[in-house]
Amino acid sequence: MQVSLGYGSGDQLVTVEDERILDILTPNRVELSLTGEREVRRALEEPIGTPRLREILRPGEKIAIVTSDITRPMPTAKVMDALLEEIYGAGVEPKDVTLVFALGSHRKHRPEEMLKLAGERAIREIRCVDSDTEDCVRLGTTARGTPVDITRVVAEADRRICLGNIEYHYFAGYSGGGKALMPGVSTRSAIRCNHSLMVDERACAGRMQGNPLREDIEEAAAMVGIDFILNLVLDEHKEIVKAVAGHPIEAHRAGCRFLDSFYLKEIPARADIVLVSQGGSPKDLNLYQTQKALDNAKHAVKPGGVVVLIGACDEGFGEDTFEEWMREAESPDSLIRRIRQDFKLGGHKAAAIAMVLKNADIYFVSRMEPDLVRSIFLTPFDSVQKAYDAARAKLGEKATVLVMPYGGSTLPRVREKAE
């Protein structure tokens, strides 16, 4: 069978023997009744676990809406008309509403970026600001030691509405929900404390129960208080296919269940060889982004197997701290030791790659310099076919194969056997 996998602005072809292929993991078919802004309005009219937003808010209250920054796919502008109408329906005046872009550890926005994110109506009618790590209020400390430092405009609001998109997150389980507050509008030191929990093997994609990092996020969010969420699930084209609104836990979990119905892929068994692509440009512009596909693929490969990671990475590493850690590492184990001792954003991605290398080899199909690729403990190839042929030669004629054309979106899980 010939398989096409996204690579930069084009694709790469690889021929794999039919009998080797356990499955090709593409998104599940899901029946959708409403999509786009109509689905957003439906969710606001049918909140989960709370009254409608217009029944919660009161005139004169200061309202903080927390949404994602420019690095995230959350289409804030597409929800603001419906959301503002719901807020105004409670008698709240525009002067009492602030839209806060959750920067986390990222840079501030330019005015044109704020306009793109919020849309013309929001920019015209309400205050729109970036979160500020230098002006935070400490609201306590979680049981795991994370300081709950929240940007002042959010901490001092009477009501907090959190927006976001729900997708698999490689150590928080899922995005969305309380992540808008922690790490969204927190300080670097608080983010470091929370994210340092990623080295726990229970902190992984698709896991909420018993995930220490997600539990820390939700403990922090509860200390701040979220009155209402509006979370979206997007398809591979970044179109809205599902919206959930209401209670910060109940509505978020409903969104996670829908995401599972769309992107969780049951597999009969782990495979000897996993071919995984981030799906091509712009998702594979650099290794920092392509790592997302690798982290999902780790759930599909057998111990001692090979992950063939496919991403053009024309922009190289894509993040300075990540590049520094990868270049300086003496071994994969040294990266894991370093993240335990001195958690740094960017370095966490290097440690995540190292954690995969403890279980499997990574054959990397990219346009990065081969000697550089070898120096960061990956095996370089310029074509998927060459990488696959090498993996097959290493693992033998009976090696099994799983193919993940949309590796950043699809999450493999071994099917439970019936008793």
Q: What's the CATH number where 188 sits?
A: 3.40.50.11440
Packing angle, helices 111-118 and 77-88, rounded to 10: 70
- Whether residue 47 lies inside any domain: the answer is yes
Unique residue bearing structure tokens 């398989």: 3
| Same domain assignment for residues 227 and 305 | no
Q: Are residues 235 and 320 in the same domain?
A: no
* 102 lies in some domain: yes
pLDDT tens digit string along 375-398?
Answer: 999 999 999 999 999 999 999 989
Angle at 135 between CA 188 and CA 105, to 5 degrees: 25
HEC assignment per residue over the chain: CEEEEEECCEEEEEECCHHHEEEECCCCCCCCCCCHHHHHHHHHHCCECCCCHHHHCCCCCCEEEEEECCCCCCCCHHHHHHHHHHHHCCCCCHHHEEEEEECCCCCCCCHHHHHHHHCHHHHHHCEEEECCCCCEEEEEECCCCCEEEEEHHHHCCCEEEEEEECCEECCCEECCHHHHCCCCCCCHHHHHHHHHHHHCCCCCCCCCCCCHHHHHHHHHHHHHCCCEEEEEEECCCCCEEEEEEECCCHHHHHHHHHHHHHHEEEECCCEEEEEEECCCCCCCCCHHHHHHHHHHHCCCEEEEEEEEEECCCCCCCCCHHHHHHHHHCCCHHHHHHHHHHCCCCCHHHHHHHHHHHCCCEEEEECCCCHHHHHHCCCEEECCHHHHHHHHHHHHCCCCCEEEECCCCCCEEEECCCCC
pLDDT band at 419 (very low <50, low <70, confident <90, very high): very low
**Where does a domain end: 244, 262, 280?**
262
Q: Does residue 80 lie within any of the structural domains?
A: yes
Kindly state whether residues 99 and 217 are assigned to the same domain: yes
Sequence-separated (6 or more) residues with CB below 8 Å from residue 71: 106
Does 320 map to a domain?
A: yes
**Between 30 and 257, where is the model more confident?**
257
In a domain, 41, yes or no: yes
* pTM (predicted TM-score): 0.84
Q: Are residues 257 and 272 in the same domain?
A: no
Tally of domains within the chain: 2
Q: Are residues 22 and 112 in the same domain?
A: no
Would 355 be classed as within a structural domain? yes
Q: Does residue 354 share a domain with residue 234?
A: no
Q: How far apart are CA 392 and CA 272, in angstroms?
A: 9
- Confidence at 350, pLDDT banded by 50, 70, 90: very high
pLDDT, residue 108, reads 86
Digit-coded pLDDT (tens) for 354-376: 999 999 999 999 999 999 999 99
| Alpha-carbon distances of 376 from 10, 161, 340, 359, 364, rounded to whole Å | 26, 42, 19, 16, 11
Domain boundary pick from 262, 288, 303: 262
Residues 140 and 229 in one domain: yes
User: Is 419 contained in some domain?
Assistant: no
Evaluate if residue 418 carries a pLDDT over 70.
Answer: no
- Tell me: do 215 and 157 sit in the same domain: yes
Q: Give the integer Cα–Cα distance in Å for 69 and 76.
A: 9
271-277/264-267 β-pairing: unpaired
Q: pLDDT value at position 417?
A: 60
What's the whole-number mean pLDDT along residues 106-122? 91
In angstroms, the first-to-last Cα distance of the chain is: 34
Q: Is residue 237 included in any domain, yes or no?
A: yes
Same structural domain for residues 88 and 225?
Answer: yes
Domain that holds residue 161: 36-262
Predicted local distance difference test score (pLDDT) of residue 346 = 87
My answer on whether 198 and 96 are in the same domain is yes
Same domain, 306 and 333: yes
pLDDT exceeds 90 at position 220: yes
- Calculate ∠ Cα 330-171-71, nearest 5°: 95
Residue 185 in contact with residue 178, Cβ under 8 Å? no
Cross-strand partners of 102: 68
Q: How confident is the model at residue 261 (pLDDT cuts 50, 70, 90)?
A: very high
Of 246, 248, 311, nearest in space to 283 by CA: 311
My answer on whether 249 and 193 are in the same domain is yes
Q: Read off the pLDDT of each residue in 252-280 and give the average, rounded to a whole number.
A: 95
pLDDT digit string, tens, across residues 284-330? 999 998 998 999 999 999 999 999 999 999 999 999 999 999 999 99
At 170 the pLDDT is: 84
* 332/361 Cα distance (integer angstroms): 12
Mean pLDDT of the 175-189 span = 93
- Out of 214, 233, 262, pick the residue that ends a domain: 262
* 341: confidence class by pLDDT, cuts 50, 70, 90: confident
Mean pLDDT, all residues of the chain:
94
pLDDT band at 30 (very low <50, low <70, confident <90, very high): confident
CATH number at residue 373: 3.90.226.30
